[in-house]
Amino acid sequence: MTPEAAADPMAALASPPAGASIVELRLDLLSGIDVAAAVGACPLPVLATLRSAAEGGEGSDDPAARAEILGAARNAGAALIDLEFTRDVALVQGLGLPPEQVILSWHDPKETPEDLGVIAERMLGSPARWVKLVPTARGVADLAAVLGLHQRFNDGPRMRRRLLTFAMGAPGLASRYLAPLLGPPIGYAAWSEAAPAAPGQLTITCTEAVISHLDGAPQRLFGVVGADVGSSLSPALHAAAYRELGLPFLMVPINVSDPEELGELFAPRGSTCFDRVGLEPWGWAVTTPYKARAAAAADRHAPRVLRAAAANTLVLGPEFVTAENTDADGIVGSLVSLGIDPRGRVAVVQGTGGAARGAAVGLHLSGADVVLRSRSDERAQSTAEEIGLDWCAAGNAAPEDALLVNATPLGSEAGEPGPFSDAEIAAAAAVVDMVYADHETELIQMARRHDVTVADGREVLLHQGVAQVAAFTQRVPPKDAMRAVLKR
């Protein structure tokens, strides 16, 4: 519970989010709140936390002030008390707390120190029921370091494990999904999407959509790899397939800001950074801006990958990495599902990036006459010549009865116009928008107003995801179960 969770904290505490089993009361953020009344208002057990400014909160460092506030929470009946390892150890005895009532915590809001294992070992030497260790990941190496703590310290039955560890920040997002599977079955979740208590904190709904089919470590790990995949629907989409098929697999988002770190991921099974910490990746879904790098890193390539020079799917074998491009399946599959055969039709693909390359090659292989268009004529020409297709200048209008494909990010922001004019849309046979978001894009709205057949980004994602699940699992994907996840 944070101030952003509700205008009336007391009323909100009386009705916690569905699925919660404990409510963390952030006393450092709720200054002036009546602690006894707050604890009493909540029907669930309360974890009282006074996060210090040094560890990313707004609480005091003064020992007397901390003892007074946390003592009030103990007296009010808080089931658990968060004590900071750096400054609160004396309060275990000072407040007369039994070990089973204590979560001993340590946070670094800036980085992941090299001596993380030493810190964990020292903390686990205390009698506290749980030990919480949360650094900030700056990259894939930091993420792996945090996950390695589970391999080192969290053995034995899950209910007896003591180390709660994950990483804050975008690169650490995967660790939030994995923590309750590799460590104690406990996860920290945001009260709502609008009220995370820490950077990268997920809601219960978001977490459950990805991991609820698992009861422990995944047998196989998959990931969606990109520069900004925090809002990707792929983990939930693939989880729906694994759940329906009864497979103990998991897909997590892996944010990579430094392309030099891709070498730790785009490697044969057994030699990635995740393998070194006890997890076994079997494949990656690759998105912006790394599709060209994914194709280049592979040892074996599907023919359409060679032509597009872009891959959105890497299957990791014990000796080889195989590249595939299911963006092609996404575009063609979404059109065919709407009763539109691309054969013999002109398809204008806007964009020259990895998604555009995959879409264009897929449409061409399906018999369409593909024309590439871009804001940059130079890029359109060079890309078209590279993959053996036609192109047109940015100012050239699409012909009537064409298939229009947006393979750019335009429309990602609500109200942002797409790349096609109103006249082009009105005369089109169909419009396909590869952008998916919480809102319906302006391009799709315009097409609907003209009663033009449309396939939005979620429909494209479904069909490419179905092909991707088949490549990863060698099983027939449950399309209906996957489609249900994508409904707004």
DSSP sequence for 286-346: E-TT-HHHHHHH-SEE-HHHHHHT--SEEEE-SS-EEEE-THHHHHHHHHHHTT---TT-E
Pick from 170, 71, 185: nearest CA to 130? 185
- H-only helix segments in 154-221: 173-182, 204-211
Q: Give the model confidence (pLDDT) of 430-440 as tens digits.
A: 999 999 988 99
Residue 92 is predicted with a pLDDT of 87
Residue 404: beta bridge partners?
348, 431
Residue that wins the pLDDT comparison between 143 and 201: 143
Q: Are residues 172 and 56 in the same domain?
A: yes
Q: Are residues 100 and 158 in the same domain?
A: yes
Contacts of 68 (CB under 8 A, 6+ apart): none
The C-alpha atoms of residue 121 and residue 261 are separated, in whole angstroms, by 28
- Domain membership of residue 253 as a residue range: 234-324+463-485
User: Is 110 designated active site?
Assistant: no
Element holding 118 (H helix, E strand): helix 116-124
Q: Are residues 50 and 180 in the same domain?
A: yes
Q: Are residues 54 and 196 in the same domain?
A: yes
Q: Are residues 420 and 435 in the same domain?
A: yes
Asked, for residue 218, whether it belongs to a domain, the answer is: no
Secondary structure of residue 46 in the 3-state scheme: strand
First-last CA distance in the chain = 26
Tell me the CATH number at 389: 3.40.50.720
Q: Are residues 292 and 368 in the same domain?
A: no
Q: Are residues 414 and 336 in the same domain?
A: yes
C-alpha distance from residue 32 to each of 9, 27, 29 (Å): 12, 9, 9
Whether 228 has a pLDDT exceeding 70, the answer reads yes
Q: Give the model confidence (pLDDT) of 280-337 as tens digits.
A: 999 999 999 999 999 999 999 999 999 999 999 999 999 999 999 999 999 999 999 9
Of the pLDDT bands very low, low, confident and very high (cuts 50, 70, 90), residue 194 is confident
The C-alpha atoms of residue 326 and residue 317 are separated, in whole angstroms, by 18
Question: Backbone phi, then psi, for 23, in 5-degree steps?
Answer: -110, 125
Mean pLDDT, residues 404-408: 97
Asked, for residue 212, whether it belongs to a domain, the answer is: no
Q: Are residues 54 and 184 in the same domain?
A: yes
Element holding 133 (H helix, E strand): strand 130-134
DSSP string, 442-475: HHHHHHHHTT-EEE-HHHHHHHHHHHHHHHHHSS
Element holding 25 (H helix, E strand): strand 23-26
Whether 360 has a pLDDT exceeding 90, the answer reads yes
Please state whether the predicted TM-score (pTM) of the whole model is above 0.85.
Answer: yes
Active-site pick, 110, 132, 291, 479: 291
Whether 1 has a pLDDT exceeding 80, the answer reads no
Residues found in the chain: 488
DSSP at 100: G
Tokens of 208: 């459950």
Q: How many domains does the chain have?
A: 3
Asked, for residue 215, whether it belongs to a domain, the answer is: no
Contacts of 442 (CB under 8 A, 6+ apart): 411, 415, 416, 417, 418
The C-alpha atoms of residue 103 and residue 81 are separated, in whole angstroms, by 6
